[in-house]
Each structure stands twice: as C-alpha cells, then as structure tokens.
Amino acid sequence: MTVRPEQVLLYAATQGDLVKCYAAADVAGIPYSQCTGDFQTAWAKCADDATLVIAVGGAALYALYYNPCGWSNPAAMPAGHTPFTQEPAGQGVQAARANAFVNAAGYTALDSLTLAVMLSYYAVHGAFPRGYTSLPAQEVPQRVCVTGSSPHVVGVSVAQGANPSPTVSTPSVGLYAAFATEQEVLQAFQQGWPGVATTAGLGTETAPYTRVIASQPDVNIARAFAATNHPAWWLSFWTVSWPQAGTTFYEAGYAAGAYAASQIEAYPGLRRPDFVILDPEGYNNPASTAAEFQSFIQGFVAGVKSVSARLQPAFYVNQWQYVTYDLQAVELPCFIAIAPIAGNRPMVNGTNIRGYIAYYAGCPAASYVSQVKTWGGLYNTVQFRDSGIDCPPA
C-alpha cells in the first residue's frame, strides 16, 4: 500500500535542500505544503505513524538522527540524541512507521536531488519514476552541525512558479553548444546570446531509448540559471532511438519522454527548459509511415506530461521528414534542422514551426545571426563547428 501525497513530508535543514524538496514534490505530485524546513515539525511528524518523513540532504539526515546542533525539539532531548531510526537503505519505502524516516541524502547535491525524487515518487506511486533504476548511494549520519543549517529554514519562494521563462515575440537567435561546464554557459550569457540550447540525452538501443550525456550539459545550464537568474531562453534536446521489435512507437516515445522529464525535474534551481525537444534518431528501425512517426511524437508528449504538467514538449526534424511524415499536422511546437546558413533559407513552412536549428556559423557571427533571423522563427539557434562558445552574436 502506498502513502497518500498529503501523508508524505519532505524535510530539509538548508535553503538549498528545501529547493530540492520542491523539485521532488513536483515530480511525485506532492503538495508544496508538504515541504518543510522546520525541525520541530519534522520531529513531531516523524514520531507518529501517519506521516512518511523524507530527510532531504545531509543536514536534515544528521538533524533527525543525531540532532548534533542541539536544536529544540518536542521531546526536549539534548544534542546528540533522537529516538529516530532510518528506513533500510537502497530501496523505496511506501509505508509510514513511528520513529522512522527515509534517507534522501546523497554524497553530492545531484545525488540528493535524485534520491529525493525517486524516494518521494516511490512512496506515492509504489515504483520509481520511469527511466530510474537504482538509487544513488545514501549518506551515513554524522554528528556534525552543518554550517548554514537552521532549525527553521525560511526564504524559499515557490510562488514565482518553477519556470520564469522569457517572452519572445520577435525572431531571436541563441547558441547551440556542448556546454561541458557551467562556466561555458555563463560565458554564453556574458557574450550576449539571448538563448541557449544543448543535447541533454543520446539514444540507446533499449528502453527508455535515451540516456543523459555524461558531461550533463543540461544540468550545467540549470546551474548557470540558478546562479544568475539570467533571462535567456533554453532549449533541451533529447535524442531518442526508435523502438525495439515488440515495442510500439508510442510506447518507446512514452518511455523516453517520462525519463527526460524525470531527469529535468531533478535539476538544481527553479528554472526549467522552455521546450523539451524530441530528436528522433539513433538505433533500431525508424518510422516508415506518418502514423508511426506521429505516434512516436505523441508518446513522447504523453511521457513528459505523465511526470510534469509544466514542461512543454516539442519535436525536432529535418525538412524532408517534416514534409514526408505530414508533421505540419502535429499540433506541437516544431524545430527544423537547416544547413548551411549562408545564402540559405527554409523550404518548408507551417504554423507549428517555432524555430530553426542552423549550422554552422563562423566568427564574427553577426552575418549568420542576421541571416537566421530573416527566416521568421522565434527560437532559433546557430552552432559553431566545434560546438563551442566561439564568439558573441554581434
């Protein structure tokens, strides 16, 4: 038997970890009101058998296990002692027990996010989010009063929504790049690019048919937005392989969409991509009819929405695919691949086209940017041959 969303409490003892609580709540369908930074509240809920308490981050784990900071508590126990135990590590928990809590503290910030998402989702749904398999390693409690931790964390606002995206009303040309580090994203911001785009996942032969790139470029973008609150727009591309024999195109698209959305909702900070874009290519046999291709897209949309209602799915194709598979009929944002840039123009048009993904640009980039703007898309990108941040847009 699983736990109702209102019976799960996500507890954090630092502001950064409280943000992780909100991200996990979004994925699991838990109300934001079930995220707390108050130690007394977490203690009281942990003591009863009606609420499943999840400690998010090391500071919360240490607090509920040892109370090393000596914070006031309902039992008036001194520092170094609590009556609580951890639920078994390495597995999901879907039942509340008195005086027990779930450990969602990883050895890195990203691991803590992943643990919070997986364990919260498991508590409510009885399974991990689609695309997630094993839990990251969980921290061992320590008698350490973490610097910056507090018995009552305040100041985290979720009223702004998790996606303060910019409004784009005229053609704009951003930069598509590999973004191997957060610093590279910050460099693009400093150069004046109005938008950033990258490929977050590459196709795999088996379900979920996509997998996060090891350098995690999308996470680097999320970190840069969290550090700066920059107003740029953001395109997140996910290369997805076609289905294996025995799996429908819809099922494969669904698995990939759910996986992508689960990864995105675990990103640091509150900002999320403006578009989560299916890039259909890779392993296995591709779609051969319009019905198959469009079913693949619709499965991806359904998978994304099964995890997060706020994310906007989209798809990316070349001009031949757009015409051959009647993709102008798909009521979903579309991005068109086009090359070369100089002296070129799109040969297709459709009301669902949001932008053109163009390559390759050179330095200085002004003439390439100007050329792409004439094509009329709102969210366009150029890419340098080395997928780097080679020069400013003007």
Return the residue matching tokens 């992943």. 114
H/E run at residue 316: strand 313-318
pLDDT band at 191 (very low <50, low <70, confident <90, very high): very high
pLDDT over 70 at 282, yes or no: yes
* pLDDT, tens digit (0-9, with 9 covering 90-100), for 53-78: 999 999 999 999 999 999 999 999 99
Q: Residue 332 — pLDDT band, cuts 50, 70, 90?
A: very high
**Residues whose CB falls within 8 Å of the CB of residue 38, separated by 6 or more in sequence, listed in order:** 151, 152, 153
Mean pLDDT of the chain: 93
Percent of the chain clearing pLDDT 70 (strictly above)? 97
What's the Cα-to-Cα distance from 223 to each of 226, 228, 229, 270, rounded to whole Å?
5, 9, 10, 10
Q: How far is CA 90 from the centre of its chain?
A: 23
Q: Is the pLDDT of residue 160 over 60?
A: no
Measured CA to CA in angstroms, residue 216 lies from 164, 168, 181, 201 at distances of 22, 26, 8, 8
pLDDT in tens, 237-246: 999 999 999 9
Q: Look at residue 74 in the predicted model and tell me its pLDDT.
A: 94
Residue 167 confidence (pLDDT): 77
Task: Please state, for a pLDDT cut of 90, what percent of the chain lies above it.
Answer: 82
Q: What is the mean pLDDT of residues 165-190?
A: 93
Residue 163: predicted pLDDT: 47
For residue 165, the model assigns a pLDDT of 60
DSSP state, residue 141:
P
Q: Which domains can be identified in the chain, with CATH numbers?
A: 5-125 (no CATH), 172-384 (3.20.20.80)
Average pLDDT (198-217) is 96
Q: Is the pLDDT of residue 88 over 50?
A: yes
* pLDDT at site 110: 83
- Mean pLDDT of all residues in 212-234: 94
